[in-house]
Amino acid sequence: MIEKIINELKDKNVAILGFGMEGISSYNFIRKYSNQKLTIIDKNNITIKNPKLLEDKNLEIIYGDDYLNNLEKYDLVIKSPGVITKDIDVSNIKFTSQLQLLLKYNKDNVIGITATKGKSTTSTLTYEVLKSSNEKSLLVGNIGRAIFDDIDKMDEDTYVVVEMSALQLEFVTYSPHIAAIINLYEDHLDHAGSIEHYHHNKLNIFKFQNENDYAIYSKDIEPLNSYITDKYKAIKYGITLENKDDKNVTHIKDDYVTLNNKQLYNTKDERKLLGEHNLRNIMFVLTISQILNLDLEQVINTINNFKGLPHRLEYVCTLNDVIYYNDSIATIPDATINAIKSLEKVNTLIFGGMDRGISYQELIDFLNTGIVENLICMPTTGYKVADLITNKNVNVIKCEKLEDAVKIAKQVTKKQMICLLSPAASSYEYFKNFEEKGDTYKKLVKENN
């Protein structure tokens, strides 16, 4: 595969667009095997942090506010996912990417997983199941590991689990052998421009599959279910939390996850992944394990012992008889609603963040039921929701800083109940990302007790 990729790039006018984690990975990969002429294009002057690039005599560096101009002059543009192109004409630009090149030359070994929410948990659990089943496997992609960083470990016996974002899927013309879409909600409108374009990007994970491939999707989530028509050629497996005993539909029957009349998993088993949404994630992993004929007993053992990932319904600690949870990954309303339903004993919710133009009506209606007694609302979306909470039994508090929000939460949360951080919005206004927000919350919770 490596030789084929290098041959595709050879003798071409190649640009690397974006020099973050993936752009650096692309540059290092090419330079390991070739000294061909390259151009790196980024909005920022990347040599400030990477002065050694100036020693590369076969490298041109372009930066500045007009960095997206003239991309059509290159034979190939290796695009990093973080570069947003929605405001330029891309019709004459020959984009490729690490994901595109992996799928072009190694698709049969790839298990691709995407979703608005749940893709990291499901991708990681799939990887852990493969690993515990003594299968050679790698976990790469949007999870935080560039594909090319592990490409030398990929052989014909290695499963490559790839978490795929909408931005990674936007320009692909190949799809993985096993592909899964867990859910599709309203999100990332600031990047995609519209919900239709965002969903279209996600569906590329199925678009180029053939009759020997597998497409796994939630049949009980709209509009995802309505998108899946005969135009997708793969063998289709549906996932539903309902009792729907159809062929190739993984469903719940008599408290068991069941597929084609085979009981796979007892939903009453004690597991560390809480909530209905995580049960759905587990059903996807079980379906993949059946397609791959993995040992079911070992799969179940791995599922039940999987602790989940940081910032996803993460137990922080219990202090002064109050239980603290961190769910900073919840950047859309549906995720916050699922978190509250999963934990059941949420007495205080800290939420709010950057306004990306998505609807909050469902969350407003949910919180107006009074299911959570204390709402600590933070800018910008939290303030907007606060003004629309009409239930007089709900204690609505506006708070600008997370430090103050945690202090108030410690004062108002009832004993033996839960204080939950679940923003229902992006963290970018005040934090670098959801990880920084979650880590800050955990630190503040444990301070001054």
Angle at 187 between CA 183 and CA 193, to 5 degrees: 125
What was the pLDDT predicted at 187?
66
CB count, 10 Å around CB of 443? 12
Residue range 223-252: mean pLDDT, rounded: 96
Q: Which CATH number fits domain 314-444: 3.30.360.10, 3.40.250.10, 1.25.40.10, 3.90.190.20?
A: 3.90.190.20
Q: What is the mean pLDDT of residues 79-106?
A: 96
Q: Residue 178: what residue type? A: I
How far apart are the C-alpha atoms of 136 and 130, rounded to whole Å? 7
Query: Which pLDDT value is given to residue 245?
Result: 87
pTM for this structure?
0.93
- Cα distance between residue 447 and residue 181, in whole Å: 40
End-to-end CA distance of the chain: 55
Q: Is the pLDDT of residue 361 over 80?
A: yes
- Given this model, what pLDDT does residue 133 score? 98
Going by the DSSP 8-state scheme, the letter that residue 220 receives in this structure is T
Q: Angle of helix 98-106 relative to helix 2-9, nearest 10 degrees? A: 120
Fold for domain 99-305? UDP-N-acetylmuramoyl-L-alanine:D-glutamate ligase (3.40.1190)
**CATH number of the domain at 2-96, please?**
3.40.50.720
| pLDDT, tens only, 306-319 | 999 999 999 999 99
2-96 and 99-305, same CATH topology: no
Q: CB neighbours of 226 closer than 8 A, spacing ≥ 6?
A: none
Q: Note whether 360 and 382 are within 8 A (CB).
A: no
> How do the domains of the chain map onto residue ranges?
2-96, 99-305, 314-444
* Of the candidates 434, 444, 347, 448, the residue with the CA atom closest to the CA atom of residue 402: 444
Q: What's phi and psi for 293, nearest 5 deg?
A: 60, 45
Burial of 320 from C-beta contacts in 10 A (0-12 / 13-18 / 19+): exposed
Written as one string, the DSSP assignment of 77-132 is EEE-TT---TTS--TT--EE-HHHHHHHHHGGGEEEEE-SSSHHHHHHHHHHHHHH
- Residue from 156, 126, 157 nearest 141 by CA: 126
Look up residue 333 and give its two tokens.
């309303």
In the structure, what pLDDT confidence band is assigned to residue 186 with cuts at 50, 70 and 90?
Answer: confident
User: In this structure, are residues 157 and 99 in contact, taking their beta carbons and an 8 Å threshold?
Assistant: no
Structure tokens at 300: 């179940």
Residues 375 and 353: beta-carbon distance below 8 Å: no
**Cross-strand bridge partners of residue 402:** none
Residue 255 confidence (pLDDT):
96
pLDDT band at 192 (very low <50, low <70, confident <90, very high): low
Mean pLDDT of the chain: 96
Share of the chain above pLDDT 70, in %: 98
